[in-house]
Chains A and B, each alone.
Chain A
Amino acid sequence: MASTAKQPEWSQPAAMAIPKGGYFADRVEQGRYGPIFPKTPASYGFSIVAKIIPGREPVFYEYAKVLENAVAGQPDCLAVLQLHYLRWVLFPIKGETYFMYQGIFDTDFDKYTEDAVGLFTKLGINTVFENL
């Protein structure tokens, strides 16, 4: 019997070029806290590149360890974020350390940041962004 099921969206490789500024001017989606970055074929996501406050670099390494332990202890502790992928990169420019954050997730940007703040507050830790 031939399948009449629609091919799922993800079965077709796709790419999307996001314009300068980060939004499509003709279809800016308003979230509760402001415009939401558009949903791409790879779902929602955002990147942050920022200089780390001098001397705070060790915080990032400690923080990564805290996350590793949290997930090891409770594998679904980050489930609410619906993360596909989260990457941190620390890199030097002219003797100063910069931080790059990239996250890809299923919920919209507002819900992700709200959930993340709620989650980390509950775990008793601040977000690393306070060291930027």
Chain B
Amino acid sequence: MIEIKLPSLGADMDEGTLLEWHVKPGDEVHKGDILAVVDTTKAALDIECWHSGRVHDLLVEPGQTVKVGTLMARLLEPGEDAAAIPPPAPAAAAAPGAATATTGPVPPAETAAAPPVIPAALATRHPVSPAARRRAAELGIDVENISGTGPAGVVTLKDVELAAAHPAPAHDRGTDMRRLIATAMSRSKREIPHYYLSDDIPLRAATEWLRRTNLERPITERVLLAALYVRAVAVAAARHPDMNGFYVADAYRPSTAVHVGLAISLRGGGLVAPAIHDADRKPVSELMQALTDLVARTRAGKLKRDELADPTITLTNLGDHSVTSVHGVIYAPQVALVGFGEVSDRAWVNEGRVEATPVVTATLAADHRVSDGHAGARFLAAINALLQHPDQL
């Protein structure tokens, strides 16, 4: 028997809401098939199948919010007999939040913080008139989410009718995302002893290279400076393993692969930092295509699960906003974040002469449990050196 559990789609994800199943019991499925779509606070994500088999049963209903690791479905391996499969454990009842999930708009914060089992009667916070309770049941509305206007805050029939006419949004992604960022950033500042370094990097060679390169290219193949940043950071990270990896359970695990997470702001607030995979092995043009695609999909809410789950280092670029430098907050369990400010013409001494030169301030926020300022300085210097030779990047 193959168990399909809700995977973690990122270090900061602990639950997800099933939007729909793409399969039903009896369906043959193959490795790579999409089994279901799950909503997280960041995006709707596909749950892929990693095995081939036949769907035995589905244990989570669309609309249900469940914890990471909850058994969602069971598959029969090829040749396996359905009769040999035990009946499912009462997974729905055991999963925290499952009891409230199908009843309507429950704030996820309550779901997440709630102890595993709350008897429904104890959870009642305000009185409800019998007529209101009946009507709410008919309409499929959870009376717990209606504020009462009757005597002593009693929920009346009228309150229920009003709530039915103006349903609250089921899921406020903006609020959820703010809370998620708050959790991740607080954890980072609590647990990671950050140290910060900065380096002014002249970009004459890089901007000239971009101008020449883009002159010959159609608009669909033009390159932005951001792609050079990704490339330089990725190549430098591959050479400096103490900047590229994860700090988990009091131990550092460097990563051999370099997946550069890009902090991408969302319209209307919030941000996501999905990864460009193996960025150290992709040439600049390919990185530019990946970057364009990633930004478009991030803003459309269509990221793949591994893009969210596995960046090994993060890059943030605030160059569009007249910012000199950015001292970032590291995304735990990563151990470093590189930031770029705005490129501006500054008086720069080159071979004894002062010249107006485009310069950017690059910064590093790194985890002092893993590396020291000396190592961080060498890493930033490597980025600087790489950006001086864009034709070799």
A binds B: no
Residues of A within 8 A of B (CB): none
